[in-house]
Structure 1
Amino acid sequence: MTKPQLPDIAGAANSDAVSRSDDNLRLPLWAQLKVWLMTQIASGELPPHTQLPSEADLCRRFGVSRTVVREALKQLVMEQRIYKMQGKGSFVSEPRTDQDFVGSTMSFTSDLQRSGHIVTRQLLNQCLRQPTDEETRLLQLTDDEAEVVEIDRVLFVDGEPRTRVTAVLRASAVPGLAATPMGNRSLYQTLQQRYGIVLKKAERWVSAANSDADTASLLNIEPGSAILNIQSVSTDQNGRRIELYFAQHRTDKSRLHFFIK
Structure 2
Amino acid sequence: MNTSVKQRKLVTKTASRRLPERRPISDGGTPLWAQVKSSIIEMIADGRMEPRSKLPSETELCETFDVSRTVVREALKQLVFERLVYKHQGKGTFVAERRDEQDFIGSTVGFSDELMGKNKLVTRRVIRQEVALPTSRARKLLRLERDERVVLIDRVMIVDGEPRTLVRISLRQSAVPGIEALPLENRSLYETLRRQYGISLKRAERWIEAYTPTAEEAQLLQVSANTPLVSIESCSYGDGDDPIEYFIAIYRTDRARLHFVIK
Considering the TM-score relative to the shorter chain, is it more than 0.5?
Answer: yes
State the shift of 1:108 in Å: 2.1
Q: TM-score, normalised by structure 2?
A: 0.89
Q: Which residue of 2 aligns with 1:3?
A: none
1:135-146 equivalences under 5 Å are 135-142=138-145, 146=148
Q: Which residue of 1 aligns with 2:66?
A: 63
Q: Which residue of 2 aligns with 1:205?
A: 207
Q: Which residue of 1 aligns with 2:163?
A: 161
> In the comparison of the two structures, how many residue pairs are matched?
250
State the shift of 1:133 in Å: 2.2
The structure with more helix, counted as a fraction of residues = 2
Matches of 2:101 and 2:125 in 1, distance apart? 22
Which amino acid counterpart does residue 175 of structure 2 have in structure 1?
A
User: RMSD of the TM alignment (CA)?
Assistant: 2.3
Distance 1:235 1:75, change over 3 A: same
Higher mean alpha-carbon deviation, 127-136 vs 46-55, is at 127-136
Which amino acid counterpart does residue 238 of structure 1 have in structure 2?
G
Matches of 2:196 and 2:81 in 1, distance apart? 46
Query: Which residue among 215, 225, 228 is the counterpart of 1:226?
Result: 228
Q: Which residue of 1 aligns with 2:245?
A: 243
Matches of 1:46 and 1:11 in 2, distance apart? 19
Query: Which residue among 95, 100, 111 is the counterpart of 2:98?
Result: 95
CA contact (8 A) 1:155 1:165 kept: yes
Distance 1:188 1:11, change over 3 A: closer
CA contact (8 A) 1:209 1:229 kept: yes
Which structure 2 segments of 5+ residues have no match?
1-5, 14-21
Which amino acid counterpart does residue 221 of structure 2 have in structure 1?
L
Which structure 1 segments of 5+ residues have no match?
1-5, 14-19
Which amino acid counterpart does residue 243 of structure 2 have in structure 1?
R
Instruction: Indicate the SS of the match to 1:238.
Output: coil
CA contact (8 A) 1:123 1:184 kept: no
The structure with more strand, counted as a fraction of residues = 1
* % identical equivalent positions: 48
Distance 1:249 1:74, change over 3 A: same
Q: TM-score, normalised by structure 1?
A: 0.89
1:77-226 equivalences under 5 Å are 77-142=80-145, 146-226=148-228
Distance 1:37 1:102, change over 3 A: same
Per-residue CA deviations over 1:56-92 (Å, capped at 9, x if unaligned) read 2111111111121111111111110000111222110
